[in-house]
Amino acid sequence: MNIKAITAVMLASAAAVQMQAQSEVPAVGDSYDAAALSTEDLNGTARYVGMGGAMDALGADISTIGTNPAGIGLFRKGQVSTSFGFVNLQDAASFANANKTNVSFDQIGVVLSTRTGVSSFLNFGFNYHKSRNFNQILTAAAKLNGSSQSLQTTLKDMNGLLNKNSLAYSQLDDIYLGNLLLQEDPDTHEKYVVGYGGDMYDFNRATSGYIGNYDINISGNIKNRLYLGLTIGISDVHYKDYSEYYETLQPNQDHIDGVLISDQHNISGTGFNIKAGAIFRPIEESPFRIGLSVATPTFYKLTTENYTTIGSNVDKSAASEDFRFNTPWKFGISLGHTIGNQIALGAVYEYADYGSCDMRTIDDAYYDYYDGYHENSSSEFYMNQLTKKNLKGVSTIKLGGEFRPDKSFAIRLGYNHVTPMFNKGAVRDQTIDSPGVYYASTTDYTNWGATDRITAGVGFTFDKFRFDLAYQYSQRNGDFYPFMSYYSADYIDADNVRQTEVNECSPVSVSDKRHQVLCTLSYSF
Q: How does residue 368 score in pLDDT terms, banded at 50, 70 and 90?
A: confident
135: pLDDT strictly greater than 60: yes
Question: Can you give the pLDDT at residue 314?
Answer: 53
pLDDT band at 319 (very low <50, low <70, confident <90, very high): confident
Number of domains the chain is built from: 1
| pLDDT of the residue at 117 | 83
Q: How confident is the model at residue 8 (pLDDT cuts 50, 70, 90)?
A: very low
Q: How confident is the model at residue 316 (pLDDT cuts 50, 70, 90)?
A: low
Tell me the torsion sign for CA atoms 473, 55, 127, 65.
Answer: positive
Range of the domain at 188: 3-524
Query: How many Å apart are CA 303 and CA 365, to the nearest integer?
Result: 15
- For residue 147, give the nearest of 475, 464, 482 by alpha carbon: 482
Write down the pLDDT at residue 19: 37
Average pLDDT over residues 97-125: 93
So what's the pLDDT on residue 328? 98
Q: How far is 501 from 305, CA to CA, in rounded Å?
A: 33
The domain that holds 44 is classified in CATH as: 2.40.160.60
The closest of 78, 186, 170 to 483, measured between CA atoms, is 170
pTM of the predicted model as reported, rounded to 2 decimal places = 0.91
